[in-house]
Structure 1
Amino acid sequence: MNKKQFIKKLEKNLSGLPESEIKDIILDMEEYYDVGIERGRTEKELLDSLGNPRNLARHIKLESYIKKAEESASASNITKAVLTSIGLSFFNLIFMLPPVAIAASLLGVLFAVSITISAAGISGVAAGLFYPLYSQYLTFTINQAILIFGFLGTGCLGALFFIGNIFLAKLFYRAIVRYMKFNLGIIKGRRQQDGPQT
């Protein structure tokens, strides 16, 4: 493989990144190549040191997605980063996907529970307000104020639980980003050790 083929494969595998970012990466690769040639390295040595263009593109994409996930917290950014990280190695598939999936499922359940508690509180307050209309059909009596304030407290508890879940989701998000950065550092270190010594 020569420089032109390497750049073409790299560019193809970088699809999904913004065009401006791809152009910057290609310019960096060409500069790396030119500086290496000036220092007396052969084309083969330079291309071997860069490794497989497909794997290099995955690493670059992961770095980009992690950076975007740090700058702007969103589900799409973290999903892209996690999926790219999983694609890098079998290790990530086994040690990253299950914990992330379980934690995301638990967060979903916690949010559903908090919404359910809030909805129960709201419906209970409504039932308390309309208690005089249907109290004649009940075989027991309930103090209307206790009913309203009890369910108002339940609704507030659900709202507080929801807010707590938001903070928990942010912590989870940051933990995933940190883990992916740590993981990328390990992979980069391994890649540098596996590559030819320069």
Structure 2
Amino acid sequence: MDKITFLNELEYQLNKLPKDVVDDVMNTYENYFYEEGQKGFTDKEIVDALDTPKQIAKRKYAKSAVKDAEKKPNITHVLRAIIATIGMSLVTFCFVLIPLIIVVIMMMAATFVSLGMILSPFILLISNILAGIQNFSISNYLFSFAYLGLGMMFLVMIVKASIGIRTLLIRYLKWNMHFMKKGTM
């Protein structure tokens, strides 16, 4: 592949990014070709030393998505950053998706437990209505209200933990992109 083909392919692969980012990346690589050419390298040698345009575009897209997730850490931007980072390589897929699935399963289980605790007074009331008044015990209701309070505390802790996990996830994605950056400019 020669310089012109490489740069055209790179520009085509960068089509998902904003125009100013594409212009900056193209300018960087054109300058890189110029500087390496001044050192005596041929276009083919320079192209062979670089990653493919598709890999470069994936990395730039992931970097842009992570920056967006840092600026606006809502679910859409974070998911886009995760998907863009996972698309970089199979290793990234294993290091991002598998821990993320484990954490999400644990958070969902904790949420269901806390919701069960919050609903315990209502469940007790319905079971007493269905079983009849003879099974009524004030201590059961006191325990169920204690579970209600604990469930609400756990739910608040889960929300706070999810915000912390989101922050850690964005930091991890940035670290992972930096780690996977080898072999490129």
| Residue 60 (structure 1) shift | 0.9
1:58 corresponding residue in structure 2? 58
- Matched AA of 1:90: L
- Structure 1: gaps (5+ residues): none
For 1:28 and 1:86, locate their aligned partners in 2 and report how far apart those are by CA, in whole Å: 25
Measured on the aligned residues, the alpha-carbon RMSD in Å equals: 3.3
Q: Distance in 2 between matches of 1:140 and 1:182?
A: 58
2:181 is paired with a residue whose SS is helix
Pairwise CA distance, 1:38: 5.6
The structural deviation recorded for 1:75 is 2.5
Match of 2:18? 18
Instruction: Verify the 8 A CA contact 1:69 1:77 in the aligned structure 2.
Output: yes
- Structure 1 residue 108 corresponds to structure 2 residue 103: no
Change (3 A) 1:59 1:120: same
TM-score, normalised by the number of residues in structure 2? 0.76
Per the alignment, residue 184 of structure 1 pairs with 177
Q: Matched residue pairs, number?
A: 184
Match of 2:155 in 1: 162
Segments of 4+ in structure 1 off by > 4 A?
Answer: 34-41
* 20-29 or 104-113, which deviates more: 20-29
Contact 2:17 2:61 in 1 (8 A): yes
Instruction: Supply the distance in 1 between the matched residues of 2:136 and 2:181 (Cα, whole angstroms).
Output: 70
CA deviation after TM superposition for structure 1 residue 161, in Å: 0.8
Q: Which amino acid aligns with 1:138?
A: I
Aligned equivalents of 1:102, 1:35: Cα separation in 2: 46
1:50-129 matched pairs, under 5 angstroms: 50-121=50-121, 123=122, 127=125
Q: Percent identity?
A: 23
Distance in 1 between residues matched to 2:4 and 2:120, nearest whole Å? 64
Q: 1:103 to 1:47 in 2, by over 3 A?
A: same
Distance 2:47 2:176 in 1: 24
Q: Which moved more, 1:59-68 or 1:17-26?
A: 17-26
One-letter amino acid of the counterpart of residue 134, structure 2: T
CA contact (8 A) 1:124 1:151 kept: no
**What one-letter code is carried by the residue in structure 1 that aligns with 2:47?**
L
Question: Which SS does the other structure have where 1:96 is aligned?
Answer: helix
TM-score for the superposition, normalised by structure 1:
0.72
Q: Does 1:138 align with 2:133?
A: yes
Moved more, 103-112 or 171-180: 171-180
- The 1:178–1:153 alpha-carbon spacing in structure 2 relative to 1, beyond 3 Å, is same
The letter for the 2-side match of 1:77 is H
Q: Of residues 155, 160, 165 in structure 2, which corresponds to 1:172?
A: 165
| 8 Å Cα contact 2:120/2:145 also seen in 1 | no
Q: Secondary structure at the match of 1:88?
A: coil
